[in-house]
A = this chain, B = another copy of it.
């Protein structure tokens, strides 16, 4: 039997131990290293070149999971990257898949789901939790409601409470353009005010 080498990336030690304990029950998994940050993950991948990287998206400080995935992909590693996170926000799912994640699991997934996802990942199969899949499906059905990259960027800044003027300065665009983007964002989110947009963004899109 071929063993599958795994790198765990999560800023919470408890989660890493839990995952390690779970994977330890299976004969074909071998957790070769653990990282608590994106930066550390890059190093450890270099050192151990694991077959699979299981990665959280929300990482306290520094590089977040998405950036780490992107960085790993750019160094053309052959690792299969599996997202393992608490939230299933639309934006995160799309960005993670876009960045090159092979699968997307939620932290309340059952052990079997986790095992299957990892085994599938090394074989090039894409596995995701049911809620995640249904969200992706939803987006495919309603492409009109998908934010463009620029809009998502703006929405993200919006949730920090910036004014149109400030948004323009941050993004190096005029206030007029900010307003245009906002109008599109409101339409796509189905809201009419910036307040509602922020509320929706933080709750539904998971932008915190």
Contact = CB atoms under 8 A, between A and B. Distances in A.
Nearest to A58: B86
Interface in A1-56: 11-22
Contact of A21 (B12, B20, B191, B196): B20
Contact of A60 (B11, B15, B108): B108
Contact of A194 (B12, B13, B86, B195): B195
B111 A13 contact: yes
Give the number of times this chain occurs in the complex, counting copies: 2
Contacts of A20: 18, 21
Contacts of A203: 202, 208
Given A60-B108, A162-B195, A195-B194, A16 B13 contact: no
A69 interface: no
Interface string A97-116: 00000000001101100000
Contacts of A96: none
A161 B18 contact: no
A15 B14 contact: yes
A162 B200 CA distance: 12
Contacts of A200: 161
A132 interface: no
6 nearest A-B pairs in the assembled complex, by CB-CB distance: A161-B196, A18-B18, A14-B18, A17-B18, A161-B199, A161-B195
